[in-house]
């Protein structure tokens, strides 16, 4: 009906429905992994990147800190996870150049009592923790810098991390610049277990993304998130409102770094083999690209951006790379390398025409979709970029912090609590 | 009723390069007073605010809030050589709380060039100012374990907006408000930090005489309602003379007069430097 | 023909209509003032004339030429200069450079120096601080600088958006006498002021704006005696 | 390290630094005026390398040099018009992404058109003339680079400090609208910035590639990053700062590699940068202008 | 009806298809060599476009992907190949990417044949990775022996950090040279994408070696050579198989004279009829297509092209032996396969490495790679 009013619980049920459908789809995909390998791989990557993008957005979009250290923190997470999870039996093969440091072997032997899933969780957490400690300590001097100076300093930090990891001095820990391989992947790899082969290869990254992103969203919607936004808007005024700049910037920086590092660990598991070179500035730029394409200051934008960019770059545009002959006619331009040309052009088009990103700074909401559809049906012209961007009407009372659970009194009624 | 002053400054001096923007300001403000700080352009009024609220560490002298020193400085480094103010050598300690610490201690301010959080809503602007008094840590806040506190903050924010007549535009972007409303919002935001001392920098700038009068009433009103002490900078003499209990006059960074509005209006030095011959 | 003719001017920001079809004239050699409450659309009017804001519809004619939606830079070259709201000095240039850049389009070197001298005379404070980066000036000093910079363009039509904002009482008076002097030099002035008393006193013609519409117009002195205007804008006289 | 080896390293470092300085100025100028980190600058530099290769195949080098400079300038201005001008009023980040996009596009286009294989950079005979002083041996270009850099920089500083155009550039960098109100044609001023930046990049590319002899689509990436760091280190927006930064990085990089720490040569550059920023938060020569409260 | 093995321009219109993945760098640092390897594979495919399995004719389809010489990209495109259901994969040029993608193929149980990846780690511990070329320990020994034979006593080694091939081979050379009584006077390293070698070369000059061993990519080769000569270094420069590429000579010009390399194949060594046939056929193939000609840098036959050809042939034989499109069956067939390739006999040891024991040494003379000698070990 045209006149239906959107109710909060509709959103809840719809979200639940979508979640269930998504879970089902993911499960189906991973069981049929052999037929949909590309889809699985691209979804895995998108999930991991969406986590990094959201945590980068926390800094760049919500706190207004232009930070370009993501690759460095991902490297910390990736290497920690990799070093701790490479199966003991494979270690010597991995460190074939210089051998593995005895203490590290000792640590790994001790840890090998843990079953693999636990070991992985443990490794991810340790990676996050190390990154958090780093973030905390470099934050003290570096976060005082302003805008682009901060950007270049964090970028510098990330490059230093990379250099240290690949330095010959650390050969016996990080395998220097040769990288690490035989990192366990997400899913069950060996047949013979209780679960089918491939099980978990999507659901694990999915739950990881879900929890970390949910956490960031909760932080953003809390009073601390508002303080971050205040800092983004005007540091002087924020400070005058009693917000401790350094403390809050550091908080955002540490949260973002910990989660970025954990995502780095996930990336290591996705890649199965990593090298320091992969964690260069280019990786950070790629993430930045996702964040801005999605919309600075929009969590759903970052997630959308991660999927759109990864799908386009790694999958949809692939056919541009192979020569195509239709009826004896060689389609011009199509050959190796053309995909990236097309990708760059598409990128430019998106930036030029959606200058505030796909989502602007607004978030996805069922209500927005609903209104948009209704508008379309009524033939009201919508303008570009305005699709989901509807301000709420002034409420009769302050909007509640947490959306009401289904069954709670509906909005409109003034209830004093 | 003259107990401890809310705010006092002693020999407060602020020098930028060779420019002594504020020279040896010594003043006191008692609880519940409305005190005005006036003077020609560039006399150092805003600088005084900045030195009090910790935006700049003072070059010399100190600031006390309710008997406790919050800012103190003496010329060091290159400034030692350059120093052109008075009382060099009198102070040897330095202490400078950051603006947020000072706000936490109960001093709030508005800015001469309005500094709202432009892209946030009017409501959020006020809500954010409550953050400083929040107890919950980041995890508690994130997981909604401080629901009570959060709801309280929201309720009080709407109340404040109601008071400045902005509740109907509460969900507008702050930047879209007309100038005069933005000034009101800045005051509401400052009040949300629960100050005991409020510093207002030209709250009536850009207002017509009618609006200026209303601003005067408003300031008096909030003083009563929140039992505030107020220090105000203004160039609208009608307003200043109307609401202040006492006035300090600055010229070229120096205090040239202090007194009640009646005294100041008659002071020849003030007339020469600031008010002009006929009023 | 008037020097400046504005007809049926509409301007909107996104969805909000800031000007709803205003029309007015500025005669050569006059001081014309626009008054009105906060948010009435005064600044929008001036910004639209100088091309900073696009008109949705309507015409603006200057010396018979249509200038609506012309590039700002071209509008300036026609001899219209705006002292914008909120001072907008170049914070990274020195006081002197700010003044010189006001004369960017002028080629007459000797006269530029002469004008610079005159402005220093008007605002001695600026000369005192000619080396200082404009960003560190006090609010009032910046306001002086903005007015001075506008004068340096030596425009035919000078538009001032609240030039007395944040100035000390004595300087406010000076500003108004400067405006009269500018008029005496044969220039035309379009003025926005919150200090409606003073503005109406010197204006040949005045328009009252309210929520994007002109609700009253007349000679300056005439409006000064108008009861509605008194009630709405002038306040109780001290 | 023997004295001769030391001098040889110095020579390498100073020459590298000179080329870095020329590129760094381009970053610094564009940043100074648009507040944009022009990621595409490194690739404009790379394209200048290809222009030379193609130009020399049809013309003698004397004619090729002006052709290359002209071509690079046209490319730089074209990029500005196509990718940055439409975004004048857009948020800063969008322009930055546009710059990254242009950078990707140039790299990928070059890969697509010219393949990823290195192409030999033509030898310009007089520049390649071997000069031998005692044990130290290097080509003329090694000596020429720093000298030419210094001369160009002085010309540029004069332009920025002493002319009306320079003043207009600094004004535009802060506020487009108000600049327009002064009668400044902001688009022309911005284009001019790109003209100068690209021309310097072209000269830099001739010096740099003549010394390094081959061009690939990714030749710009690493020097680009380093020159950007040089610009920041010197105080982004400041021309003399960029020059100092360029030489500092050129020298420190060379010596680090020489001492066998080639893994750390880039890292050291950044370490230096961070240390300098800690003591001078806006770089060595950067203006420390915060808005007045 | 189709006539098998007759090379035709158009794809055979059989609806039965078997896919062979081509996992190679066509862009990036090793894009040049990778493409040459692809050329060998394409030529082989042109010669043998169909195969009979169980009496039915299958068209062989090449599924080419570009791993961009980048280890991260390598894993992604490997997954891509897996998803496109290739039965067997050929690749890759460059040991690093092969090592990186190894586990992906192993897990998907798809066999891979590396034509020219020489690092031992490529096949070690991976039951699905095979190779048809010799290994770096062998190659390092060959070059060390050659240096010593030529009277060198002092050697400098330059390797690329993070490149398994470069540092691996450098290390093997280093050991072999020292074992043979030589002295290593300088060990220098550079980073990927570095184009300025003056600093490390200045150090080498100071150490005054007789030979410089610098295994690295085609991209870095001319830079190294020219910058060394510019600094007045006269020592002989030597490298591994990767340097056998005409563009190096084109780019380095005169300075390249005297550079010595080891390689898998010599187009002038037509001792086996198979090789001679291949060389003529391949040259025709190259000359017929201007793009091929240009990218190959003329109609020379690179060793990697020959190895690419052999790898295809090996895959072809394995499919034939397995009589199945199933990748596991093909893998099992590979283990016991024996065939005669253009680069010599091919049979795999327990690691999946071809048992090869002969290398060619070529020296650049008069702007060409000229055969110097062959080296065999026991
Ligand atoms: N950061 C700074 N650097 C250099 N000079 C400064 C700085 N801040 C203020 N000044 C100078 O100090 C003097 C006092 O400035 P201040 O802003 O306190 O004046 P004010 O009394 O508030 O004037 P107004 O009424 O015009 O706002 C001015 O001359 C100004 O130029
Ligand atoms: N950039 C903008 N975006 C959206 N709305 C705007 C913008 N600028 C002005 N407005 C709105 O347009 C209306 C007219 O504004 P304008 O600035 O012209 O008023 P004014 O008469 O100059 O007021 P003041 O006395 O406060 O300067 C106001 O409601 C204002 O909120
Ligand atoms: Mg002030
Ligand atoms: Mg206005």
Q: What percent of chain A has pLDDT over 90?
A: 32
Name subunits touching C (3+ CB pairs < 8 A): B, D
The predicted structure's pLDDT at residue A328:
63
DSSP SS3 for C70: coil
Measure D202 CA to nearest chain A CA, in Å: 24
Distance, in Å, from the CA atom of D167 to the CA atom of C98, rounded to the nearest integer, reads 9
Helix axes A37-57, E71-83, angle to 10 degrees: 140
Ligand 1 atom 19: the closest Cα is on which residue?
Answer: B42
Check residue D194 and give its pLDDT.
92
- C3 assigned to some structural domain: no
Q: In terms of pLDDT, which residue wins out, E140 or E80?
A: E140
pLDDT at A170: 85
Mean residue pLDDT of chain E comes to 86
pLDDT at B123: 93
> In this structure, which ligand is nearest to the CA of C84?
4
pLDDT band at A325 (very low <50, low <70, confident <90, very high): low
* Residue C14 CB neighbours (<10 A): 8
- CA torsion, ordered A219, A224, A229, A230, to nearest 10 deg: 180
Interval between CA B33 and ligand 2 midpoint (Å): 35
* Closest ligand 2 atom, residue C44 Cα: 18
Share of chain C above pLDDT 70, in %: 97
Q: pLDDT tens digits for C155-197?
A: 899 999 988 888 888 888 888 888 898 888 888 999 998 888 8
- pLDDT at position A329 is 66
Mean pLDDT of B25-38: 92
Write out pLDDT tens, residues D39-79. 899 999 999 999 999 999 899 988 999 999 999 999 999 99
Secondary element (H or E) of residue B227: none
Looking at residue A373, the DSSP 8-state letter turns out to be H
The residue-averaged pLDDT of E136-140 equals 88
- C238 at the B interface (CB within 8 A)? yes
pLDDT value at residue B48: 93
pLDDT top residue among E28 and B20:
B20
Nearest CA to ligand 1 atom 2: C136
* Number of the ligand closest to the Cα of B38: 1
Residues in chain D with CB shorter than 8 Å from the CB of A347 are 97, 101, 104-105
Average pLDDT, chain C: 87
Instruction: For E206-255, write each residue's pLDDT tens digit.
Output: 899 999 999 988 878 888 998 898 888 899 999 998 898 888 888 888 88
Q: Whose CA is nearest to atom 12 of ligand 1?
A: B21
Q: How far is E103 from chain A (nearest CA, A)?
A: 7
Q: What is the mean pLDDT of residues B186-204?
A: 92
Nearest to A38 among E79, E120, E162 (CB): E79
Residue C21 has pLDDT above 70, yes or no: yes
Q: Poorest-confidence range of A110-124, A384-398, B77-91?
A: A384-398
Please give the share of chain D, as a percent, with pLDDT higher than 90: 27
C73·D292 Cβ contact <8 A: no
pLDDT value at residue E90: 95
Neighbouring residues of B169: CB distance < 8 A, sequence distance ≥ 6: A394, B122, B177, B181
**Structural domains in chain D (count):** 1
In which band, very low, low, confident or very high, does the pLDDT at A369 lie, cut at 50, 70 and 90?
A: confident
Taking the C-alpha atoms of residue A42 and residue A33, their distance in angstroms, rounded to an integer, is: 12
Closest to A181 in 3D by CA, of E331, E104, E160, E159 = E104
Measured distance CA(E179)–CA(B232) in Å, rounded: 88
User: What is the secondary structure of C9-28 as a DSSP string?
Assistant: EEEEETTEEEEEEEEEEE-T
Task: Using a pLDDT cut of 70, give the percent of chain B over it.
Answer: 98
| Lining residues, ligand 1, CB within 6 Å | B 16, 19, 21, 39, 41-47, 112; C 136-141, 166; D 292
In a domain, residue C184? The reply is yes
- With beta carbons less than 8 A apart as the criterion, state whether C178 and C171 touch: no
The answer, yes or no, to whether residue A194 has pLDDT greater than 80, is no
Whether residue A247 has pLDDT greater than 90: yes
What pLDDT, on a 0 to 100 scale, did the predictor assign at position E12?
44
In a domain, D168, yes or no: yes
Query: Number of folded domains in chain C?
Result: 1
Q: What is the mean pLDDT of residues B268-278?
A: 80
- The pLDDT of residue C238: 41
Q: Choose among C67, C51, C47, C75: nearest CA to C7.
A: C67
Which residue's CA is the closest to the ligand 2 atom numbered 17? C43
Question: What is the distance in A from the centroid of ligand 4 to the CA of C140?
Answer: 17
> Which tokens belong to D290?
């915060």
Distance in Å, alpha carbon of A255 to nearest chain B alpha carbon: 10
CA–CA gap between residue E347 and residue E353 (Å, rounded) = 8
Q: What is the mean pLDDT of residues E46-74?
A: 88
Q: Which range, A209-218, B68-77, E266-275, has the best average confidence (pLDDT)?
A: A209-218
Between CA B5 and CA A360 the distance in angstroms is 50
Q: How far is the CA of B39 from the centre of ligand 3 (A)?
A: 10
Q: Judge whether B179 is closer than 8 Å to chain C, CB to CB.
A: yes
Q: Is the pLDDT of residue A413 over 70?
A: no
Residue E198 clears pLDDT 90, i.e. is over it: no
Q: Do D182 and C133 touch (CB under 8 A)?
A: no
pLDDT band at residue A95, thresholds of 50, 70 and 90? confident
Q: Model confidence over A219-243: pLDDT tens digits?
A: 999 999 999 999 999 999 999 999 9
Residue C146 binned pLDDT confidence (cut-offs 50, 70, 90): very high
Ligand 1 atom index nearest CA of C168: 25
Chains E and C in direct contact, meaning 3 or more beta-carbon pairs closer than 8 angstroms: no
Q: How far apart are CA A2 and CA B279, in angstroms?
A: 66
Most confident segment among A341-345, B170-174, D246-250: D246-250
Looking at residue A394, what is its pLDDT?
38
D vs E, Cβ pairs < 8 A, gives 103
Whether A416 shows a pLDDT value over 60: the answer reads no
Tokens 């993608």 correspond to: E101
pLDDT of residue A4: 56
Q: What is the DSSP letter of B207?
A: -
Alpha carbon separation from C133 to C129, C136, C187 (Å, rounded)? 9, 6, 30
Q: With contact defined as beta carbons under 8 Å apart, do B206 and C165 qualify?
A: yes
Q: Is E205's CB within 8 Å of D5's CB? A: yes
Q: Please tell me the distance in Å from A13's CA to the nearest CA on chain E.
A: 35
Residue D288 lies in a domain: no
At C166 the pLDDT is 84
Residue D286 placed within a domain? no
Which residues are within 5 Å of ligand 3 (an ion), measured at CB?
Answer: B 46, 112; C 139
CB count in 10 Å sphere of residue E246:
19
Give the Cα separation of A337 and D108 in Å (integer): 7
CB-based contacts of E236, cutoff 8 Å, min separation 6: E147, E150, E152, E210, E211, E212, E258, E259, E260
pLDDT tier, E329 (very low <50, low <70, confident <90, very high otherwise): very high
Query: pLDDT grade, residue A77 (50/70/90)?
Result: very high
Residue B241 in contact with residue B10, Cβ under 8 Å? no
For residue D142, CA distances in Å to D4, D16, E200 come to: 16, 8, 17
Q: Which long-range contacts (CB under 8 A, 24 or more apart) does E6-14 make?
A: E7/E46, E7/E47, E7/E49, E8/E49, E10/A328, E11/E49, E11/E59, E11/E61, E12/E49, E12/E50, E12/E57, E12/E59, E14/E50, E14/E57, E14/E58, E14/E59
Min mean pLDDT across B91-105, C60-74, D254-268, E279-293 is at D254-268
Q: Which of A76-85, A198-207, A276-285, D15-24 has the lowest mean pLDDT?
A: A198-207
The residue that leads in pLDDT, D207 or C233, is D207
Among the listed ranges A32-36, E16-20, E368-372, which one has the minimum average pLDDT value? A32-36
- What residues make up the domain containing D47? 3-279
CATH number where C114 lies: 3.40.50.300
| Residues above pLDDT 90, as percent of chain E | 37
Segment holding B269, helix H or strand E = helix B268-270
Give the bridge partners for E19, in sequence order: E61
Least confident of A106-115, A283-292, A405-414, B128-137: A405-414
A398 has pLDDT over 50:
no
Lowest-confidence pick of C20-29, D18-27, D260-269: D260-269
pLDDT digits (tens, 9 = 90+) for E273-296: 888 889 999 999 999 988 888 888
Residue C1 domain flag: no
In terms of average pLDDT, the best of A70-84, C21-35, C152-166 is A70-84
Judge contact between B277 and C171, C-beta under 8 A. no
Whether the pLDDT of residue A380 is over 50: the answer is no
Give the pLDDT of residue A383.
39
Residue C15 in any domain: the answer is: no
Looking up residue D197, the CATH number of its domain turns out to be 1.10.3470
Look up residue E10 and give its DSSP letter: S
Q: Are C132 and C95 in contact (CB under 8 A)?
A: yes
In degrees rounded to 5, what are phi and psi of residue E158?
-120, 125
Q: What is the mean pLDDT of chain A?
A: 80
CA distances from C38 to B105, B206, C230 (A): 34, 8, 16
Let me know the angle formed at the C-alpha of D53 by D47 and D58, rounded to the nearest 5 degrees: 130
In a domain, C102, yes or no: yes
**Could you give the angle at the alpha carbon of E90 between the alpha carbons of E85 and E91, nearest 5°?**
120
Looking at the CA of residue B112, tell me the nearest atom of ligand 1.
Answer: 27
Query: What structural domains does chain B harbor?
Result: 1-106+196-279 (3.40.50.300), 115-194 (no CATH)
Please report, to the nearest 10 degrees, the dihedral formed by the alpha carbons of residues A87, A93, A95, A100 taken in order: 60
Nearest atom in ligand 2 to the alpha carbon of residue C194 is 25
- Domain extent, residue C45, equals 28-52+71-233
The pLDDT value given to residue E42: 94
Distance C138 CA to ligand 4 centre (A): 20
As a whole number, mean pLDDT of residues B48-76 equals 90
Is C194 in contact with C165 (CB distance < 8 Å)?
yes
| Nearest-CB residue to E222 (from D5, D115, D213) | D213
What is the distance in angstroms between the Cα of C75 and the nearest Cα belonging to chain B?
27
Calculate the alpha carbon distances from D24 to A66, C66, D39 in Å.
Answer: 21, 45, 12
Determine contact, residues B193/B103, Cβ cutoff 8 Å.
yes
Question: What's the mean pLDDT in B215-243?
Answer: 92
Predicted pLDDT of residue E146: 92
Please report which helix (H) or strand (E) contains residue C235, including its range.
none
pLDDT for residue A289 is more than 80 = yes
Q: Is C110 in the pocket of ligand 2 (CB under 6 A)?
A: no
Distance of CA E243 to the CA centre of its chain: 10
Which pLDDT belongs to residue E121? 82
């Amino acid at each position: 009906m045209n006149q239906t009013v959107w109710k909060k619980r509709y959103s809840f049920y719809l979200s639940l429905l979508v979640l269930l459908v998504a879970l089902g789809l993911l499960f189906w995909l991973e069981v049929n992994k052999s037929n949909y390998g590309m889809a699985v791989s691209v979804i895995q990557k998108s999930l991991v990147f969406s986590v990094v993008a959201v945590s980068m957005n926390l800094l760049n979009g919500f706190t207004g800190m232009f930070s370009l250290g993501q690759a460095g923190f991902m490297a910390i997470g990736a290497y920690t996870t990799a070093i701790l999870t490479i199966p003991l039996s494979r270690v010597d093969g991995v460190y074939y150049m210089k051998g593995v440091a005895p203490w590290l072997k000792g640590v790994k032997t001790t840890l090998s009592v843990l079953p693999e899933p636990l070991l992985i969780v443990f490794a991810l957490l340790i990676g996050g923790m190390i990154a958090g400690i780093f973030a905390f300590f470099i934050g003290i001097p570096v976060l005082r810098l302003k805008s682009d100076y901060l950007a270049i300093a964090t970028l510098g930090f990330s490059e230093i991390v990379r250099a240290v990891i690949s330095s010959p001095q650390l050969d016996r820990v990080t395998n220097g610049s040769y990288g690490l391989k035989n990192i366990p992947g997400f899913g069950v790899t060996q047949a013979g277990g209780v679960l089918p082969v491939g099980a978990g290869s999507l659901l694990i990254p999915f739950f990881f993304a879900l929890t970390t992103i949910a956490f960031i969203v909760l932080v953003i919607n809390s009073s601390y998130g508002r303080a971050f936004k205040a800092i983004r808007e005007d540091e002087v005024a924020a400070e005058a409102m009693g917000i401790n700049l350094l403390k809050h910037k550091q908080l955002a920086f540490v949260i973002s770094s910990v989660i970025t590092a954990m995502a780095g660990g996930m990336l290591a598991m996705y890649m199965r083999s990593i090298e320091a070179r992969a964690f260069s500035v280019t990786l950070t730029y790629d993430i930045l690209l996702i964040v801005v394409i999605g919309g600075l200051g929009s969590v759903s934008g970052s997630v959308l951006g991660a999927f759109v960019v990864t799908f386009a770059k790694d999958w949809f545009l692939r056919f541009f790379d192979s020569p195509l002959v239709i009826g004896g006619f060689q389609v011009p331009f199509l050959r190796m390398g053309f995909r990236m040309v097309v990708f760059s052009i598409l990128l430019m088009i998106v930036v030029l025409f959606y200058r505030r990103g796909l989502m602007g700074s607004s978030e996805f909401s069922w209500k927005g979709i609903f209104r948009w559809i209704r508008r379309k049906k009524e033939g009201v012209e919508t303008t570009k970029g305005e699709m989901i961007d509807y301000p709420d009407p002034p409420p009769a009372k302050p909007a509640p912090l947490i959306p009401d659970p289904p069954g709670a009194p509906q909005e409109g009624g003034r209830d004093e609590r | 009723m003259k107990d401890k002053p809310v705010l006092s400054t002693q020999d407060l001096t602020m020098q930028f390069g060779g420019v002594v923007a504020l020279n040896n300001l010594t003043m006191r403000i008692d609880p519940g007073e409305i005190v005005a700080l006036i003077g020609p352009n560039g006399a150092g009024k805003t600088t005084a605010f900045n030195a009090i609220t910790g935006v700049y560490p003072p070059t010399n002298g100190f600031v006390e809030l309710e008997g406790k020193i919050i800012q103190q400085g003496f010329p060091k480094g290159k400034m030692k050589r350059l120093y052109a103010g008075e009382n060099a050598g009198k102070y040897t300690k330095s202490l400078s709380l950051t603006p947020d610490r000072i706000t936490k201690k109960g001093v709030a301010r508005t800015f001469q060039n309005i500094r709202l959080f432009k892209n946030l809503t009017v409501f959020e602007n006020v809500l954010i100012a409550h953050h400083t008094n929040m107890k919950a840590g980041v995890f508690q806040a994130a997981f909604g374990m401080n629901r009570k506190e959060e709801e309280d903050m929201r309720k009080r924010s709407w109340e404040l907006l109601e008071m400045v007549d902005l509740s109907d535009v509460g969900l507008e972007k702050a930047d879209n408000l007309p100038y005069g409303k933005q000034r009101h919002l800045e005051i509401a935001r400052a009040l949300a930090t629960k100050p005991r001392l409020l510093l207002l920098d030209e709250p009536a700038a850009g207002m017509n005489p009618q609006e200026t009068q209303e601003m005067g009433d408003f300031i008096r009103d909030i003083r009563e309602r929140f039992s505030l002490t107020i220090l105000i900078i203004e160039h609208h003499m009608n307003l200043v003379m109307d609401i202040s209990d006492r006035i300090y006059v600055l010229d070229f960074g120096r205090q040239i007069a202090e007194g009640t509005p009646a005294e100041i209006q008659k002071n020849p030095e003030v007339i020469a430097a600031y008010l002009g011959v006929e009023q | 023909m008037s020097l400046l003719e504005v007809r049926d001017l509409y301007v909107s920001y996104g969805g909000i209509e800031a000007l709803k079809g205003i029309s007015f004239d500025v005669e050569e050699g006059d001081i014309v003032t626009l008054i009105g409450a906060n948010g009435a659309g005064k600044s929008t009017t001036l910004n639209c004339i100088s091309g900073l804001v696009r008109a949705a519809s309507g015409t603006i004619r200057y010396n018979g030429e249509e200038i609506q939606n012309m590039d700002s830079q071209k509008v300036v070259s026609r001899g219209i200069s705006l002292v914008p709201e909120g001072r907008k000095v170049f914070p990274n240039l020195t006081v002197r450079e700010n003044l010189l850049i006001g004369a960017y389009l002028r080629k007459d070197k000797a006269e530029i120096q002469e004008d610079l001298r005159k402005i220093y005379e008007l605002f001695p404070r600026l000369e005192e601080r000619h080396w200082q980066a404009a960003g560190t000036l006090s609010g009032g000093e910046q306001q002086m600088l903005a007015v001075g910079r506008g004068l340096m363009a030596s425009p035919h039509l000078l538009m001032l958006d609240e030039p007395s904002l944040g100035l000390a009482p004595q300087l406010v008076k000076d500003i108004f006498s400067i405006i009269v002097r500018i008029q005496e030099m044969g220039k035309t002035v379009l003025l926005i002021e919150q200090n409606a008393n003073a503005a109406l006193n010197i204006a040949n013609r005045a328009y009252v704006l309210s929520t994007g519409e002109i609700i009253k117009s007349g000679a300056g002195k005439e409006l000064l005696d108008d009861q509605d205007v008194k009630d709405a804008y002038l306040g109780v006289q001290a | 390290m023997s004295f001769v080896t030391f001098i040889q390293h110095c020579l390498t470092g100073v020459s590298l630094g000179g080329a870095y300085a020329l590129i760094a100025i381009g970053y610094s100028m564009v940043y100074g005026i648009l507040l944009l980190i022009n990621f595409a600058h490194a690739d404009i530099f790379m394209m200048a390398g290809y222009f030379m290769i193609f130009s020399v195949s049809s013309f003698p080098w004397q004619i090729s040099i002006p052709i290359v400079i002209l071509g690079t300038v046209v490319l730089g201005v074209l990029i500005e018009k196509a990718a940055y001008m439409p975004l004048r009023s857009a948020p800063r980040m969008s322009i930055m992404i546009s710059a990254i996009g242009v950078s990707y596009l140039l790299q990928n286009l070059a890969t697509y058109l010219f393949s990823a294989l290195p192409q030999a950079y033509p030898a310009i005979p007089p520049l390649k003339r071997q000069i031998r002083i005692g044990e130290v041996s290097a080509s003329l270009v090694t000596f020429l680079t720093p000298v030419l850099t210094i001369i160009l920089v002085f010309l540029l500083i004069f332009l920025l400090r002493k002319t009306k155009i320079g003043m207009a550039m600094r004004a535009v960098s802060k506020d487009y609208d108000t600049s327009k109100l002064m009668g400044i044609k902001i688009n022309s001023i911005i284009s001019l910035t790109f003209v100068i930046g690209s021309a310097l990049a072209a000269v830099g590319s001739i010096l740099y590639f003549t010394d390094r002899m081959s061009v690939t689509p990714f030749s710009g990436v690493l020097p680009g990053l380093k020159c950007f760091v040089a610009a920041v280190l010197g105080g982004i927006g400041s021309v003399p700062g960029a020059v100092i930064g360029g030489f500092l990085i050129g020298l420190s990089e060379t010596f680090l590699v020489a001492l066998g720490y080639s893994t750390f040569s880039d890292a050291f550059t950044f370490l230096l940068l961070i240390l300098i920023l800690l003591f001078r938060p806006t770089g060595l020569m950067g203006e420390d202008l915060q808005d007045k409260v | 009806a189709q006539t098998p093995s007759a090379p035709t321009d158009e794809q055979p219109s059989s609806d039965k298809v078997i896919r062979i993945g081509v996992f190679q760098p066509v862009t990036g640092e090793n894009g040049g060599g990778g493409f040459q390897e692809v050329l060998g594979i394409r030529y082989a495919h042109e010669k043998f476009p169909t195969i009979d399995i169980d009496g039915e004719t299958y068209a062989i389809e090449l599924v080419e992907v570009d791993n961009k010489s980048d280890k991260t990209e390598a894993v992604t495109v490997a997954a891509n190949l897996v998803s496109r259901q290739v039965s067997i994969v050929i690749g890759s040029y460059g040991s690093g990417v092969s090592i990186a993608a190894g586990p992906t193929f192993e897990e998907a149980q798809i066999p891979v044949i590396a034509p020219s990846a020489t690092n031992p780690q490529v096949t070690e511990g991976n039951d699905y990775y095979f190779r048809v070329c010799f290994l770096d320990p062998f190659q390092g020994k060959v070059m060390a022996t050659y240096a010593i034979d030529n009277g060198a006593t002092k050697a400098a080694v330059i390797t690329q950090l993070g490149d398994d091939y470069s540092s691996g081979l450098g290390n093997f050379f280093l050991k072999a040279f020292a074992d043979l009584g030589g002295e290593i006077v300088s060990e220098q390293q550079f980073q990927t994408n570095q184009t300025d070698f003056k600093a490390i070369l200045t150090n080498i000059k100071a150490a005054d070696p007789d030979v410089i061993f610098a295994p690295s990519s085609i991209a870095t080769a001319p830079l190294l050579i020219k910058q060394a000569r510019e600094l007045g270094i006269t020592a002989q420069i030597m490298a591994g198989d990767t340097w056998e590429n005409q563009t190096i000579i084109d780019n380095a010009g005169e300075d390249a004279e005297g550079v010595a390399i080891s390689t898998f194949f010599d187009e002038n060594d037509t001792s086996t009829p198979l090789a001679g046939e291949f060389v003529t056929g391949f040259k025709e193939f190259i000359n017929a297509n201007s793009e091929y000609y240009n990218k190959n840098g003329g109609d020379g036959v690179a060793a990697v092209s020959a190895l690419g050809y052999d790898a295809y042939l090996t895959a072809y034989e394995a499919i034939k032996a397995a009589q199945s499109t199933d990748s596991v069956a093909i893998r099992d067939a590979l283990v016991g396969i024996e065939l005669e390739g253009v680069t010599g006999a091919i049979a795999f040891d327990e690691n999946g490495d071809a048992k090869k024991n002969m290398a060619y040494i070529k020296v650049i003379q008069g702007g060409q790679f000229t055969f110097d000698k062959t080296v065999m070990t026991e």
